[in-house]
Structure 1
Amino acid sequence: MSKADVMACLSSLRQHQHRGQRSPHKPLLVLLALGQLTTTDSSALDWSTTADRLAELIRDYGPPSTAGPTQRAAYPFTRLRSDKIWTLNHDVPMDRVQPLATNRVVGQLTPALEDALRDPDIAAAAARLLVDAEFPPTIAPDVLMAVGLDPDTILTTAHQTDKPRQRRRSWTVAILTAWNRQCAFCGFDGQLGAATVGVEAAHIRWFTFDGPDDPDNGLALCSLHHKLFDHGALGLDNDLRITVSSNFTSRTDTGQSVYGLHRRPLRPRPGTTPPAATHIHWHTREVFKGPALTS
């Protein structure tokens, strides 16, 4: 199986979507199997020891869901077979949790794909393809570490995958300028000489999921709050007030200062285009780990 074959297989994963909601379940399972392969030379994953870990990955990096954690893990574990890259040692029904446990099911990448992914260059390119397609740059390193892969090895220009869309370089500058080069959430405005430091242009609707490089889809955020926003710990409501997820916790005074952002209004400078309601709705539905704290 060539590198081109591997990339074609992984770029055409059939991902279930409910009402257009993103569904990174299968990519997360493939990444978990790839991490297993690089560690043990086998991609085999025993359901009994994998279910909780896969459920945690889906909980932390997938959209909000009302399904139980083990049920969410069963979806990709059984359905990845339909993409012809995943096998189970027992033929069990789709989406059913009990047969997976009763039959001590083990899942594994197909032999041809597994052999190809033993090539470090192909493995790195495959991992890069999957995280680029599903997550923003703030989240990709966390996902890779969570599945046992080295972000420094994978997130290099040598493994950069071609993308149909290219970001507009001018967008970053325009967003930072529009928000006075300071974090829209906390006001941080670090500079080193003339350079802005620790403040970044953040997409509200992720660029990966058709988020446009438009003024109404951007905020200037400090590095911390950018990451918390992309993780779903922070969000926005329709009144342009910051929301804090009730699932976010901290034990220190510094971390607990995030709670103080809840219900704080954005205060864009005069003339700055405010975030569009459609992009806020997308972030709330796809990213924010609701419910929000009670006021």
Structure 2
Amino acid sequence: MKRDLQYYAKKFANLRVDRARGVAPHKPILLLTIIDLLEKGKIHRNEIYLSPELTANFLKFWHRFVSSDHHSNIALPFFHLTGDKFWYLMPNPGFEATIQARVKLRSLSALRSAVKYAYVDPELFVLLQASQSRQELTTILIQAWFPEKESEIAESFKYDEFDFIQQSLFDSGGAIYNVEDLKDEDRIFVRNAAFRRNVVKLYDQRCAFCKVRVVSWDGVTIVDGAHIMPFSEFRDDRFVNGLALCKNHHWAFDHGWFGLDDSYRILIPWDRFMEEAAVESRGMMAFRGERIELPRDRAISFSRGPKDARVSG
């Protein structure tokens, strides 16, 4: 059968969904999310990653369109869409047998460990790149699965949920969460990404320890956003609990190899490690007593003493 627009329109209207507790809306919501991100230019290749952007916008459509008591777990449709014969999973190295055996991966963390990205039929991806066919497939999804929400689709496509969350947190200086806020794995993933990206932005993509700044042409940086006090214990995503560190010094901070005092100076124990600095570079001990690089665009201060200035993630 020719895999044209009519073929995929029929596929989208007849998705294989769980009906044990009413029609499970996960698959059509995921497809709407992908169309939305394509419309916004957030997906450029036939590689669909379980990214914060995908997850946040999946939740956006879920809360606007779903009124049943189903749980909004993006891992379910991301995995089970393979059963509709136009969606495929690219395994991470070492997980080829897991994906081939169709071992069920029900959590976001398990799926992200096993799967690098998903991809669709080349014919479908070509169709999804064209505005007219995107609109037609969107109409099919709405009419087949959410007919009562047809008037809301245009409004839903107007904004990017992850950008909105990230900017809101940046403007407010971050947030402290309660236990109830953190029961949903999808929300935790989005929150964590927004915090880390905001911290990196605040530090101008520069490591606070060694001052290195390396950014690729597409905006990828070697600097991470880290928590000073463990998020698992304090649930503190304010910028005063954030620090931008390159990969090496993030790892060292996570393992307690250095800390900070109240004047933002680097504390390094003498007996924690031994090192040999590479030619023309400075070892960690050379930074002992120096002041870290602080954000330039916003006043920020640590509210805890040196014994507390340790990162746990």
User: By the TM > 0.5 criterion, same fold?
Assistant: no
TM-score normalized by structure 1?
Answer: 0.43
Larger-Rg structure: 2
